[in-house]
Amino acid sequence: MDVQKIREDYPILNTGIVYLDSASTSLTPEPVLEKMLEYYREYRANVGRGLYKLSQRATEELEEARKKIAGFINAKPEEMILVRNTTEGINTVSLGLSWEKGDNVVTTVTEHHSNYMVWLRVAQRFGVELRILWPDSRGVVPLAEVEKKVDDRTKLVSIAQVSNVLGTKLPVEEFSRIAHDHGAYMLVDGAQSVPHLQVDVRRLGCDFLAFSGHKMCGPTGSGGLFIREEVMEEVEPLLLGGGAIVDVDTASYRLEEKARRFEAGTPAVGEAIGLGAAADYLKKIGLEKIEAHERNLTLRIYEALKAIPRLRVHGPEPEWKVGITCFNIGNLNPHDVALFLDSVADVEVRSGLLCAHPLMREVLKEPQGAVRVSTYLYNTQQDVERFISAVEEIAHAFNSKEKGGTVKRG
């Protein structure tokens, strides 16, 4: 993988920043921007409505994008609902299934809020029991824990394939098998996996998978929700209105079939077309190459951080991880560390509770949260070295101060 060549697609990197916050949102490459501009400049019209040429072209381009986005995770186009982000995808499922008192829903304590709060609401609103899976000391949820908590009253198991805090990759295909053995649905939160790994919904055996386009080189306001064809009619659409219907009379309506039934209202056309281009872009480079590149960078980060006294690295060893590393230095506030990295070294990382309050407080026992460094295809070894040097500097200053020495900036 020619990273230097890839970096030419991201003019924002010419400013000299080291961007290590791609788990939050990725940068957008020129081919994606160009494809979006093409829509706005050449065929800016609504889709699925007009009979004139411009509208026909916009509709064709949107459907072509849907094919590319679906193909990216080995789904059929009619199973790919275009949404704004992972959060919207998971909410669609949580509010669309018909819950009954006595059902239970199974998730983990390591989830992002977007895959946690929705189940709290389902529990509160419908009398559903929320069952929480706990990870082992490496941050991995053991199969035995899943087997123990999933039973014949489980309606849904909902788990992130990759944790946004620990970077842990979970064997969700095994979890799917257990869910289906009990007649439950399986939802995979793919926000941190789809951008970085070759994800195949058939291999995972899931019923639902949600992901965000803005984390995979696509525009903000773009994302996908896969719903397996066979269970699509078991989910009530979140929104009703124009574009999602076959017919309406004064007393009733008939919804469109498949994905379009979930897409009431004018979609984010330019964004979806941009996401189609992003799927093409990543596929051309190759997800396996991207994963291998990130694995190398993550390994170096992990080993360097582990060697720093009084620095705590959270989560499992690198072989279980995908591109994400979280850490704390002594009792330093993670926000101070992130601000220092930005102001002194132009290194951009995330800090705080990372939309995972239960995990931070109950598992990691880090009430202030942590610092998160996350990589992507455009990051280099030099980026990583600059980050490591700056962290070493902070840790050294902190350790000297703790020992009663003077703090010097090198």
Candidates 22, 26, 59, 87; binder of ligand PLP (CB under 6 A) is: 87
Decide if 262 contacts 81 (C-beta within 8 A). yes
Residue 104 found at the interface with ligand PLP (CB under 6 A): no
Q: Tell me the backbone φ, ψ of residue 300, rounded to 5 degrees.
A: -65, -45
Residue 85 found at the interface with ligand PLP (CB under 6 A): yes
Q: Any bridge partners for residue 247, and if so which?
A: 254
Residue 155 found at the interface with ligand PLP (CB under 6 A): no
CB of 215 to ligand PLP, least distance (A): 6
CB of 151 to ligand PLP, least distance (A): 26
CB of 354 to ligand PLP, least distance (A): 8
Three-state DSSP string of the chain: CCHHHHHCCCHHHHHCCEECECCCCCCCCHHHHHHHHHHHHHCCCCCCCCCCHHHHHHHHHHHHHHHHHHHHCCCCHHHEEEECCHHHHHHHHHHHCCCCCCCEEEEECCCCHHHCHHHHHHHHHHCCEEEEECCCCCCCCCHHHHHHHCCCCEEEEEEECECCCCCEECCHHHHHHHHHHCCCEEEEECCCCCCCCCCCHHHHCCCEEEEEHHHCCCCCCCEEEEECHHHHHHCCCCCCCCCCEEEECCCCEEECCHHHHHCCCCCCHHHHHHHHHHHHHHHHHCHHHHHHHHHHHHHHHHHHHHCCCCEEEECCCHHHECCEEEEEECCCCHHHHHHHHHHHHCEECEEECCCCHHHHHHHCCCCCCEEEEECCCCCCHHHHHHHHHHHHHHHHHHHHHHCCCCCCCC
Pick 94 or 164: Cβ nearer ligand PLP: 164
Residue 192 found at the interface with ligand PLP (CB under 6 A): yes
Pick 28 or 86: Cβ nearer ligand PLP: 86
Rounded Cα gap, residues 107 and 251, in angstroms: 40
Token pair belonging to 147: 């087997």
Q: How many chain residues touch ligand PLP (CB under 6 A)?
A: 12
CB of 399 to ligand PLP, least distance (A): 32
User: Which range binds ligand PLP by CB under 6 A, 85-93, 172-180, 344-352, 390-398?
Assistant: 85-93
Token pair belonging to 95: 């509010």
Binding pattern for the stretch 204-223 against ligand PLP, x by CB under 6 A and - elsewhere: --------x-----------
User: Which range binds ligand PLP by CB under 6 A, 166-174, 185-193, 292-300, 399-407?
Assistant: 185-193
Pick 115 or 328: Cβ nearer ligand PLP: 115
Residue 164 found at the interface with ligand PLP (CB under 6 A): yes
CB of 355 to ligand PLP, least distance (A): 6
Candidates 68, 112, 155, 261; binder of ligand PLP (CB under 6 A) is: 112
Residue 160 found at the interface with ligand PLP (CB under 6 A): yes
Candidates 91, 115, 351, 375; binder of ligand PLP (CB under 6 A) is: 115
CB of 165 to ligand PLP, least distance (A): 8
Residue 194 found at the interface with ligand PLP (CB under 6 A): no
The residue annotated as part of the active site, out of 206, 217, 326, 355, is 355
Residue 59 found at the interface with ligand PLP (CB under 6 A): no
CA distances from 145 to 158, 182, 190, 207, 250 (A): 14, 15, 21, 21, 51
Rounded Cα gap, residues 328 and 340, in angstroms: 14
CB of 384 to ligand PLP, least distance (A): 21
User: Which range binds ligand PLP by CB under 6 A, 80-88, 267-275, 358-366, 401-409?
Assistant: 80-88
Residue 107 found at the interface with ligand PLP (CB under 6 A): no
> Restricting to residues 340-369, which ones interact with ligand PLP according to CB under 6 A?
none
User: Which range binds ligand PLP by CB under 6 A, 61-69, 82-90, 139-147, 240-248?
Assistant: 82-90
Q: Any bridge partners for residue 329, and if so which?
A: 311
Decide if 294 contacts 323 (C-beta within 8 A). yes
CB of 143 to ligand PLP, least distance (A): 20
Candidates 9, 21, 61, 189; binder of ligand PLP (CB under 6 A) is: 189
Q: Could you confirm whether 355 is annotated as catalytic?
A: yes
Residue 191 found at the interface with ligand PLP (CB under 6 A): yes
Catalytic residues: 355
Chain positions contacting ligand PLP, by CB under 6 A:
85-87, 112, 114-115, 160, 164, 189, 191-192, 212
